[in-house]
Structure 1
């Protein structure tokens, strides 16, 4: 970066506050290095707690003096002085001392940071007090290109007429010459050094940081270009996929239409065959009817009209004929029943399989559970007796696939074979989990595409062979939601919990609702709105009811039924800014109060039992309780610690400090415990999900959360951790055990 900046190198926007849209007035710098007017920050801080940067939304912890304690952006002040001096050097601008002379040229006093007319300049130089002031005349002012010439001189707060020219390294403070004699005398406690010497070292350090930033910026810019390139391919990809899908489903439709015509032909053929057979049967019966009718007529005529001689002549012949006809065995049954169409595959079964008719494949890791693994999109055999379903697989963990059958015809002969990406065989174990369900377990040693074959009686089952995508521990096995307002989408998720059915309950800050998702598939099951301006955390009591905290104007702790009906609102006098919440088996509740800087132990009716941690907590956020040990764990995001108390309010221990090493924290937020009493904590800043023993000893790092700025976490009974990713607008699940 150049050491000098000319007036043409910056525009008016650089000197404008993004809040008030005016030139900076007393500019102050936040820790995130964004600058705003002092008054703007004071108004902003009065509207929200904790204070967030208006530009990047980074949470800011103000010093004890408030906004006034933030550092002044002297560089911006210098630029403002430089711009004002350049603009006001000519005639027509009033003198900033006598405030009346607008004629003639002006000079600039760097010590007073004012424009002076010629008269005031002469008078200014005559005063002994101002004889050392640096005054730049009109001609030099117009030609000046170096902003550095317009640095306002800094004077000592204690010795007002003394310029700050030394830096006490022991105290990290700027001091004047008088201070080095009185308060910062060189010795074992103080080490005043000329500012230029220390500043040079600082500049060298900053120069190194600039060099470190250049490669990162290039990587980011390259990534932006790559994303833009992919965005340009988005619509062509959509059109191609749409065309492929249309062709695929057109083929399916053609197959159905072809089968429909085949069935119609079979019906016509069957109708013709049955008609021919019935016609033949009818003719045979009619032939017998004619013979019997003829004999009956002849016999009746003989009886009624024949003479005795005639009767004697034909009687015996008639008798023989009739007896022969009557004795004949006749098949008078047609042996035919109405034919009908039969549904070999029920429509409901097809409906269940429709989701397997094709799919969308992408190179982007959408991290979704695979309910059933298929080698390629295809119509599976509907009448198949067996099907294999593959659970999410993570390197180094025991993983499973389940084989199910639709019949109970004894125990079949099941064989399995699994290979890693290199073709190396992976040992598998088979056990019957329940009647008709077999569990196939294995431990993958590498990541990537594995191949699983499952055969029953030497025949491949539905879904075999399967491609099993084994992920690393830092890759989520399931990602639920994306930014949006509709059901199934999320907007700033904060708290997460597991309900009585093992499903995931998520509280959304911006949508002001709770959504319930299926743990295996991530599909939305239910949702209900919640009261409060900014909902924050959620817990589930022993009866399956939801407890939700919210901060802001309509703050409180609210209890909802399993169906989402509001049952109770708790807002005791001791509560002001509720955040994290945990609930005990007997219904007692522990609520973090940000304003009180403590935890409130409440009765099931919301009345206060006691304060926990008051005076010992710094900016607490989330809480969990280990009832078996009677310990309450609270995260302090600003203190970078986890603090443990007993339920009587006594401090037991604390662990953690700021850092990026194992066991260290960067703004810890979500916290929970596993069945063994281990403490699981997620860092808000760097996403590390760490595990500690019941005594606070570091055990391991589970994963580094990818979704961005994690908040609440919850442990799912089947060995996964759900993490609410606030800025990623999703919930990510990672393998825990």
Structure 2
């Protein structure tokens, strides 16, 4: 039985007919392949096959029963909720055409309703009894008049009752056992503990709905790949037919000149061509049918799951959850690849001299196939591997002389060309008289710069679109986000800066007048008080350096004050700071548009800056960091650029400009550098109250020389007001968001 697309008003008999016995379903059972058969049909097939399993007669999928038929194995298969519901509707509709008697009171009165709990046809009096009897008031009843109301039809559903406790609905779901249970079960066989965790159906169903939806998305990607392969097979069929038709014409023209001598040879050649066409056609049609069958099975499975989700019957969802997940995982795990047949099998004709009776020779070249694959999943701003495999019998094609290129087309239609490098050595040429198919693999690194559907096409030897693959790039959303506005442990009030040292994350919780310390998965460790912490850095020995009000304070790892020195003599509004390896402290002052360098004891070494756009001038710099060689990196906020200085504050170079492109800057704020020299920058964006990259709120990654690498937009969890950033050695970055009073963690390398 194929899945129905919607509730049919006429309750189609064909839909409610078992495909095996051709009668209306009796106790319909749902198989793991989503096909439905009568219980007695399933038992018959299982008994013939030994009692423990059988092949579905509709799709040949293997069905394994939970236990032998004799022990109730067929009874343990789930019933088809929807078919039972439609059968009830059909019975109720037929009562309008014939005198169907009430099955409850045996009074002979005409039945005008059906009860989904009792599974009985009811007269009006018995409907009233149901609704006025406390023990029956919760039963699902639909009347003949309700059949005309789609809303009432959707609310009606048969209920599942506990086999151990008669009369008890299964309103709980035990997750470890993957079983629907009743209230009484939760206090005996499924009492909460190490092996059992019963939860209310209403609370647990949304989690498994999300799981099914995720698996459906992966399965839909398989469907897309199958469709692409079917399209390539259609192209191959057309190309083969056109090629053979053209060559047949060449043969006919040639043999017209040799008609008197070569009539017999002409016919032999044509027969050979037609046989080539026939053989190749049969091969392609067979493969196409296999793909179409696979596509049909997959689409049926998706349609069935979608119907379950559309009906939103939580009991039905949980009853079928395991079966649906196993089937969808089976679909999603199919390896279809994305093989191309553009280099089709080509027939060529080489005529001989008109004076030779043989007339010519016919050769068939097998062409080449191309396959492109992308390491899943593809995520915005992160590198992923792309491989191109070429299989051919032409040694030159795989010998390194012709390397494929990959043309990437973004969702907006912008194209980028990626060069590939050989991953395997050139194959040895076949010996004399030998023919062999050889393969070679090329690879490339692709770093998608935005989310959405991208098309990857293979170009080679002057030919384009030899093979293509559609890849849905995910947004680079945070892998961790924690904190909310408040004053409790793990809560924040406008956190301005962050720092990382080893396995600890330090947060300047500014308006809560404290520094909080966490591990790298967001678990609270401890905190210590200090006035107005804004800038924050940690020395290699674990000393925590904080810009606290108009002072620089140094604390031990446990939060004990060790030393402090004043800034008021030099700075108007000190903000961010960083520390060099020898203990010297660098402070940014956005009011004075300057950067200050102090000795570890607070002695001023140098001041650079002043408001302006020239080299070494600034416009409200807020954050600084030190590079791996103690070079000083300054986020020059309102000049929308970054300036680099050596360890003694001598100007070196600058990069960046204002704009709306991914590589452009918009109010660069927090800045941090990793041990490889990469610079990670947080852009504050415009002054609107709306977050997201469309308002300039984004993270950027640059090489030490200022070459733009990537931009993180975080579409799924938009940045609101990003401030400080701190990188880890495993390619992650923490961002303090003062607008959302939280800390987010992203992968950037």
Q: State the TM-score, normalized to the length of structure 2.
A: 0.37
Larger Rg: 1
Q: State the TM-score, normalized to the length of structure 1.
A: 0.38
**1 or 2 for the larger relative contact order (CA 8 Å, sep ≥6)?**
2
